[in-house]
Structure 1
């Protein structure tokens, strides 16, 4: 007998997210050929890994449950989302059996290992390195960033590009042992001075509740403190700009919100959680984040990760859902 749960209402899905620690969700449509092709594999995973109140496998028909599909910005079939403690931690688009099996079994193994971390989960399963709880009623919407449209001004090319800021993987700055010896510079540093200007467009209209910025400057090994990058201090935020601002242009435009961070704002993972004036960030299609200066006397600022917490806009055109083929899998 199948253990997969067919979702019949938004309330049923919401209750399940609260009652089961991990919820694997198959967003499908009856007219979608690739959805039918991968369905037997999904059922096999469900039969072998389902555990009451712990790991649940569900199916959501996007044609009959449009409210749920809209809430999670599902625009292509099939889409698989894995929720951990009510938040999306993995997303797989397309009929890719190997990738689906890999991410599901990985999370199931973590659950079997008794992991009880309440850390934030990103858009991939390695995002649980953050600490604290998400604001009630809101989730991680970083996966709505349109990475193709990202821009970053005054960044040093010796370090990671702007896309690295939105990865959910644990920064190497937090790694220990052999991982700490990695030469991968998975962070961003400013170049000619301490200022950074970033433009991030979104794939959907968002309600942005909170920003999280992670900064992990290294400890100085010598007396030259100017060589050690600083954490951001003053940050200005501009929503709904059509393009990135120039530094002089930003001086002439009042920011919608300006934040000054102090040492006590950074937690043990090097992350500062910045609540926004929510009423000012209700219908956001893009954000410009301007790091005005750093906290110290150095000449460079370092940023490792950026995370956006909020809610995806409800207005989606579900009439233009795509079919995603199974060319990635066999």
Structure 2
């Protein structure tokens, strides 16, 4: 189990370290250094000097206000080994208080950024074990574009099978807030046109969505812009309906060129993680 928290100031981090002294806190020093990210430099500078951070990404593991380990670079194996070495033993069962001392991952954000509009890709929170798509082609399936939990930039694509419709079922290992999505198709005529979005449905079939309307569907988009699809532009959603999402279901009803097949080269989801227990990690612990 892991809790995720987004912080905007050094004082927030210090308060967390004081209140959760018995927990293992992992501070993620990483950033996308685009033009607007210059605002974050003073914040990172203050903390990075305090913890001797000289490269990004750097993960600093702290317990009882003491740095117990530092992992430099995107080394998943080294980070996992460090967490396992310093995290408290897993609780025997999921009961009240069992999440008291679970590791806490702190993601640092610029203090000049409004928390309500922070948008990051949420693909890393996909539960790949539950990733599936109805009416997908055997040779061009959803695993090819989302199985690695990163934006697909290769030649793989998802393609429908018997007709133009698709039903993508995306489950997440913790609750997320979604503000926008990206759907990209290289060939415009095969790109999705009309879509319906549903959330938090344990099981969903075509019969559940074909005639469904809002609010049963979280949002219906009658005609996606071909330019948005071709240029991977973000499609804004009705944020109030996507504030606590455990699963997102994307029903593609038609495509731009009335083709027999629909294709999708890439999907991305933008928003924020909700501070909660990572259930995928919990299931692994229980097993």
TM-score (normalised: structure 1): 0.53
Inter-CA distance 207–301: structure 2 relative to 1 (3 Å threshold):
same
Inter-CA distance 169–206: structure 2 relative to 1 (3 Å threshold):
closer
Give the counterpart of 1:283 among 231, 236, 244: 244
Inter-CA distance 56–63: structure 2 relative to 1 (3 Å threshold):
same
Runs of at least 5 residues in structure 2 that lack an aligned partner in the other structure: 1-8, 15-26, 32-39, 82-115
Secondary structure (helix, strand or coil) at the match of 2:124 reads helix
> For the Cα contact (< 8 Å) 2:176–2:246, is it kept in 1?
yes
Alignment of 1:35-184 (within 5 A): 50=54, 55=56, 57-61=58-62, 92=76, 136-159=117-140, 161-166=141-146, 167=148, 168=150, 170-173=152-155
1:248 aligns with 207
Higher relative contact order (CA 8 A, sep 6+): 2
- Alignment: residue pair count: 211
Runs of at least 5 residues in structure 1 that lack an aligned partner in the other structure: 1-6, 26-42, 66-77, 83-89, 98-134, 174-185, 219-228, 325-330
C-alpha deviation, 1:156, in angstroms? 1.1
C-alpha deviation, 1:230, in angstroms? 0.6
Aligned equivalents of 1:258 and 1:79: distance in 2?
A: 46
> For the Cα contact (< 8 Å) 2:183–2:268, is it kept in 1?
yes
Do residues 301 (structure 1) and 283 (structure 2) align? no
Aligned equivalents of 1:81 and 1:314: distance in 2?
A: 25
C-alpha deviation, 1:198, in angstroms? 1.1
Q: Post-superposition, which runs of at least 4 consecutive aligned residues in structure 1 deviate over 6 A?
A: 12-16, 62-65, 78-82, 320-324
> For the Cα contact (< 8 Å) 1:198–1:289, is it kept in 2?
yes
Inter-CA distance 140–79: structure 2 relative to 1 (3 Å threshold):
farther
Aligned equivalents of 1:155 and 1:79: distance in 2?
A: 43
Inter-CA distance 315–91: structure 2 relative to 1 (3 Å threshold):
farther
C-alpha deviation, 1:261, in angstroms? 0.7
Q: How far does the alpha carbon of each residue in 1:150-187 deviate from its partner, in whole angstroms, 9 at most, with x for none?
A: 1211111122x3222224365334xxxxxxxxxxxx11
Inter-CA distance 296–323: structure 2 relative to 1 (3 Å threshold):
closer
Do residues 231 (structure 1) and 213 (structure 2) align? no
Aligned equivalents of 1:308 and 1:206: distance in 2?
A: 10
2:19 aligns with none
Secondary structure (helix, strand or coil) at the match of 1:264 reads helix
1:223 aligns with none
Secondary structure (helix, strand or coil) at the match of 2:136 reads coil
Inter-CA distance 14–302: structure 2 relative to 1 (3 Å threshold):
same
What is the aligned-residue RMSD (CA, Å)?
4.2
C-alpha deviation, 1:139, in angstroms? 1.3
Q: How far does the alpha carbon of each residue in 1:45-92 deviate from its partner, in whole angstroms, 9 at most, with x for none?
A: x88xx26xxx47451427769xxxxxxxxxxxx99697xxxxxxx572
Aligned equivalents of 1:230 and 1:248: distance in 2?
A: 23
2:169 aligns with 199
1:126 aligns with none
> For the Cα contact (< 8 Å) 1:80–1:92, is it kept in 2?
no
TM-score (normalised: structure 2): 0.60
